[in-house]
Structure 1
Amino acid sequence: MGIHIFQGHEPALKSSYINVVIDVIRAFTVTQYAFMKGAEGILLAGSVEEAFKLKQKNPDYLLAGEVGGLPISGFDFDNSPANVFKADLRNRYLIQKTTNGVTATLNSLDAEYVFVTGFSNARTTAEFIKNKLIGPAPDQLINIIASHPDGDDDLACAEYISGLLHGPRSCTGKEAADRIVNSAAAQKFFDEAKPQFNPEDIDLCIKERSSGFIMKVSYKDRIPMIERVSV
């Protein structure tokens, strides 16, 4: 088994057994909380225009995401897990467009299994892969993609997952959480001059939750979609 960590939303990947795409602040923390609030599935859009086209075809679907970290006009949700956690999403589908996490996922589909996660669901994801998917074959390739091009938040989570899968652990859960809080990507959430960024989001991004599911990317009508899979 080979585990490789890549950084950025345009990774140069070979075909692999498993790809794990990470976006801690905040896309895949949002998806976890959306599923916790009852969402059925989350379609991935590569652009704002594509998101609106998917919405036209599926009027009942909800739009969620950001451009440059900021809300998108006409979207139902921004990229805040705190805001999503307040919503009732039972039996609803979402369409998600984000700068790093969604883009990286759409560039990481050439694998037998594709998973997405933030730090909050990282341990559950790693344990599922280790216990259910990793076998004795030495040629199993696992790519872990830290989607932020230069952010230590996603890289810390990637190193944490790598250690959980195959040790030795270069980054513990506490160390990863500390690195996330201290990362450049997190600092704007603590800046009173930027009220559009909610510090509660960071609290949710660094809290590990045993939610009982992992998030797997599959296809719905040829559109990549994140599905909740119970563990």
Structure 2
Amino acid sequence: MSETAVPRSGEGGATDHRLLGIPELTDVPRVAVVVDVMRAFTVAAWAFARGAERIVLAASVDEALALKAGRPGWLALKDGAPAEGFDAVNSPGHIGSADLTGRTVVQKTTAGTVGALAVAEADLVLCASFVVAGATAAALRSVTDRVTFVVTGEDGLADEDRACAEYIAERRRAGRDVDAEPYVRRARESRAARELATGVRGDHRAVHERDVDLCLEVDRFGFAMVARREGPLLVLRPSTASA
């Protein structure tokens, strides 16, 4: 797993933050944390843990397939049912058993990738979920600009994403561990968690029985995930650099 450094935006402690849904983004923030707990950025973290070198965030299904088609060895995944041309589904339970060593993964989802692309021109873009919450908070502690948390689910109303954003913000502010239980409980009781657990959300082939539990594992991984423009592409890479 290759790594990329988190850039600094100045020294000092945390300042303020805001939580916005994708439709509420009216400007380009300097620092953005794009939160998708269930499941885009839990899946991305698992992909890195399984050896992926980088993740290219695609704007559409057609773009994802075109990127893969022109680059031998690249893999593509999307949310929803398995589809021709795609190698994987947007499920941590399924991706967790894949061997992605050295591979580039193209990811297209309904909420997470859309949110990241919406703030792609920010000075610093982090993509986050509970599994990388601590590393994300650590990466933000030397940032003095206001942090915009992009709550991707349900036009900003998804409680699992809001809970994760608030948890990261509190860990950044406190500079230490914070009791995760109230935040995780909110996420477990969210609509997204209920729909995943009961099979309402998505084709059954795209959902693993452990997906909810895997999405709620706090600090499973010790890296943050930084998205940057690399030519025309928005590329996500892991980073263990903090303050």
Q: Does 1:217 align with 2:217?
A: no
Does residue 199 (structure 1) correspond to residue 209 (structure 2)? The answer is yes
Distance in 1 between residues matched to 2:139 and 2:220, nearest whole Å:
12
Query: Is it true that 1:21 corresponds to 2:34 in the alignment?
Result: yes
Aligned residues: 221
Q: How much is the aligned-residue C-alpha RMSD, in angstroms?
A: 2.1
Q: Residue 94 of structure 1 aligns to a residue in which SS?
A: strand
Q: What does residue 5 of structure 2 align with? A: none
The one-letter code sitting in structure 2 at the alignment partner of 1:61 is: W
Q: Contact 1:124/1:210 (CA < 8 Å) preserved in 2?
A: no
Which residue is equivalent to 2:51? Answer: 38
Q: Compute the displacement of 1:220 (Å).
A: 2.5
For residue 115 of structure 1, the aligned residue among 115, 119, 126 is 126
Among 138, 141, 147, the alignment partner of 2:152 is 147
Counterpart residue identity of residue 14, structure 1: D
| Candidates 78, 96, 112, aligned match of 1:101 | 112
- 1:146 maps to amino acid: V
Using the size of structure 2 for normalisation, the TM-score is: 0.84
* Unaligned 5+ runs, structure 1: none
Please report how far the alpha carbon of residue 111 of structure 1 lies from its aligned counterpart in structure 2 after TM superposition. Answer: 1.6
Gapped runs of 5+ residues in structure 2? 1-14
AA in 2 matched with 1:158: A
1:182 lines up with 2:195 in the alignment = no
1:210 shift after superposition: 4.8
Distance in 1 (alpha carbons) for counterparts of 2:185 and 2:58: 31
User: Which secondary structure does the structure 2 equivalent of 1:111 belong to?
Assistant: coil
Distance 1:191 1:210, change over 3 A: closer
- Corresponding residue for 2:102? 91
Tell which deviates more after alignment, 172-181 or 194-203. Answer: 194-203
Structure 1 residues 192, 46: CA separation in 2 closer, same or farther (over 3 Å shift)?
closer
Partner of 2:67: 54
Instruction: Kindly state the Cα deviation for residue 13 of structure 1 after the two structures are TM-superposed.
Output: 4.2
Deviations 1:48-105 (A, max 9, x none): 0111111122121100111xx4434321010001111101111000000000000011
Which range moved further: 119-128 or 100-109?
119-128
| Mean Cα deviation higher: 25-34 or 188-197 | 188-197
Distance, in Å, in 2 between the alignment partners of 1:90 and 1:49 is 25
Q: Displaced runs of 4+ in structure 1, greater than 4 A?
A: none
In structure 1, distance between residues paired with 2:26 and 2:227: 17
Note if contact 2:130-2:219 (Cα within 8 Å) is conserved in structure 1. Answer: no
